[in-house]
Structure 1
Amino acid sequence: MGYIDDEMNLLEKITIKRAVMTALWNERGYTDVEILESSIQLDYLLNQYQQLLMGKKEIQKQVNIA
């Protein structure tokens, strides 16, 4: 899988996780265990996305140097 596929896949997962978390928040409130678990999962996805973008920038930087 290439960067674009990985990026699109992560963005889709992030969008879905945000929607689920928002629905749970509205239903149960912000201190519910499931909300906290969902928040941790969203943080993990956001960190993966950031690392993917940082790797992409590093590759572009190396290509520009060469």
Structure 2
Amino acid sequence: MALSYIGLRSRNAKQAAELSGMAQSTGYILAAIGPLFIGYLFDKTQVWTVPLITLIIISGIVMLFG
């Protein structure tokens, strides 16, 4: 569904390619940082409670704001 918005927002193929590249780059960067951040939290706390609560909070924010 999110990818369809790129086509709806763009006026031509060039702009669609630019928007798609920006959205996918941002998404992949955030997806790559996520596991590193969770691992960092586990290393600092030595328990899985804090990383799991962090994931639950982030998931809740994503559900609220899309």
Q: TM-score, normalised by structure 1?
A: 0.47
Structure of greater relative contact order (alpha carbons < 8 Å, 6+ residues apart): 1
Q: Determine which structure has more spread, i.e. the larger CA radius of gyration.
A: 2
TM-score of the aligned structures, taking structure 2 as reference length: 0.47
